[in-house]
Structure 1
Amino acid sequence: MTEPLPDAYDVRGSGPVLLLVPGGAGHPMGLGPLTERLSARFTVVTYDPLGLAHGRLGLPVAGRRVADWSEGAHRVLETVLPAGGSAYVCGTSSGGIAALDLLARHPHRLAHVVAHEPPCVTLLPDGAERRAELIGQLDGPGRPPAEGASATPMGVFLAHVLRPFTAHTPAFTAPPGRLTVAAGTASRGQLLHRTAEVTAGRLGGAFAEFPGGHLGTLDHPLEFADRLADMFLSSARTSA
């Protein structure tokens, strides 16, 4: 039997634990400014579910299901959290879907989850059509390689993550006050803004807007980090 790969993650900062689950194929590229800003107030744990930033880019890909990512995130939290402790979680895009699944499976370890623009399009009344549209927009001719020396994180996302994650339909009721589904202010009028609003309503969470659009963590990292930190720390004061 093949031994499971160790979970890949990085830790920086001090304070309450904040788990980040990146979007795409989970590669944390470009998140440096965001994590640096957050690390002044939190112990930031950046999860790399496929190990792409830890030597596995270009190798065969395992862990293609939403549950693989959420259970891996849970193992990481069990490693870094003190006994009886709980963590804040922010997942964006595909990482937002994993964060929702983590909340559904392990709510006792989570203080508050922010799922930023999770593409849970199957929750929409026209979900099948919107999913086909989304896949068609992203997965056109000229797809980047997913394996080998020329592999890219985008290639891995298109080959192994896009379809199973957009097919995932979360079905649970969030614990009161512990879920926020977010969308970017620049995404107003777009598919994933509508999806975030519908997802919040279906799961019993709050809806909030964050700076920027779908890539707000990259394009507006400082503003995004401050909005996230204020939301988490405010929720902590409310629940105290």
Structure 2
Amino acid sequence: MKESVLEVPGARLHHFVRGSGPLLVLIAGGFGDATVTDALANHLADRYTVLTYDRRGLSGSTTDSPALTVATHADDISLLLATVTTEPAYVYGSSFGGLIALELTLKNPDQVGTVVAHEAPVTQLLPAPERAVAIQDFLTVEETFATEGVGPALSYYAKFLDLDPTDREADNPLRTPGPDHLPNATVLLAHDTPAIRTHTFNLTDFQNSPVRIIPAAGQDSTHIWPNKCAELLADHLGVPCEPFPGGHNAYTYHPRATAHRLHQVLTS
């Protein structure tokens, strides 16, 4: 595995490349750094050259200018891709990572061959009552962070996303929070959550995109609104919404099953 740091405007992006085969970029959700996608990457490295990274402001990706928009994160991954390949890449993003992947696809379609967006929170697709619930969920997280701090705000995230870290593959142990846990979570709550809440797309651009866009959703998360976003994105594109094992965070809890399903989808 090769470890590198790329200087980009306002930040230094800590990233890793492992494996061999066509290039596949993994974009974590939440405040996940590269370590969060390690298990998934290891299950894919026999078939793909896998690029993982710490998003701007997380862990090894130090920044003088925290990202205030999803577009900044998309620009970062675009610059990373340009150092690794001149060919269109496979891109997998989950949750917030899926939103970044979609933004990258629309801004730089020449860099993306196929994108799999797992439960990306494209809230503008939701019917008005459900959209109001989704926006209020984000606002509650932000208000809780401002009044009660990191722990209660993350607990509310876990509640509305129905995250169950005990539902995991037997050989995939629970992660012990390290020294980057608190500062990384603070980046999500202070900067990324407002960016997610306010982000919108020109939805027509998805239908006109030359990129193969594959919406995906967890088989166990049909009761949460990000799953509905994936279904509605698929309807908007006129393509199937591909079922993936587990729930919203299955790529971290069930990396082996996710890797198997991702390979199926990418090569179908």
Query: TM-score per shorter chain, which class?
Result: 0.7 to 0.9
Q: 1:18 Cα shift?
A: 0.2
Is contact 1:187–1:214 with CA below 8 Å preserved after alignment? yes
What one-letter code is carried by the residue in structure 2 that aligns with 1:229?
A: H
Match of 2:22 in 1: 16
- Partner of 2:11, secondary structure, is coil
What one-letter code is carried by the residue in structure 2 that aligns with 1:123?
A: L
Pairing 1:158–2:161 present? no
Pairing 1:39–2:45 present? yes
Structure 1 alignment gaps of length 5 or more: 235-240
1 CA distance for matches of 2:134 and 2:238?
23
Pairing 1:167–2:198 present? yes
- Partner of 2:241, secondary structure, is strand
Q: Measured at CA, do residues 8 and 150 of structure 1 come closer, stay the same or move farther in structure 2, by a change above 3 Å?
A: closer
Q: TM-score, normalised by structure 1?
A: 0.84
| Among candidates 119, 122, 129, match of residue 121 of structure 2 | 119
Q: 1:47 Cα shift?
A: 2.8
What one-letter code is carried by the residue in structure 2 that aligns with 1:131?
A: A
Deviations 1:153-199 (A, max 9, x none): 22221111012112212222243670111111110122111111112
Is contact 1:96–1:117 with CA below 8 Å preserved after alignment? yes
Q: TM-score, normalised by structure 2?
A: 0.76
Segments of 4+ moved more than 3 angstroms = 136-139, 148-152, 174-177, 203-206
- Partner of 1:217, secondary structure, is helix
Is contact 1:26–1:50 with CA below 8 Å preserved after alignment? no
Deviations 1:40-92 (A, max 9, x none): 11010013221423163xx76512211111111111111101x3x11000011
Match of 2:111 in 1: 109
Pairing 1:210–2:213 present? no
Structure 2 alignment gaps of length 5 or more: 1-7, 152-178
Q: Percent identity?
A: 33
Q: Measured at CA, do residues 129 and 224 of structure 1 come closer, stay the same or move farther in structure 2, by a change above 3 Å?
A: same
- Partner of 1:225, secondary structure, is helix
| Among candidates 71, 74, 80, match of residue 78 of structure 2 | 74
Question: How many corresponding residue pairs?
Answer: 227
Pairing 1:182–2:216 present? yes
Q: Measured at CA, do residues 123 and 48 of structure 1 come closer, stay the same or move farther in structure 2, by a change above 3 Å?
A: same
2 CA distance for matches of 1:230 and 1:149?
34
Q: 1:218 Cα shift?
A: 1.0
- Partner of 1:199, secondary structure, is helix
Is contact 1:122–1:131 with CA below 8 Å preserved after alignment? no
Deviations 1:119-163 (A, max 9, x none): 111221225412333215544253229xx9983322221111012
| Among candidates 63, 69, 93, match of residue 95 of structure 2 | 93
Is contact 2:23–2:89 with CA below 8 Å preserved after alignment? yes
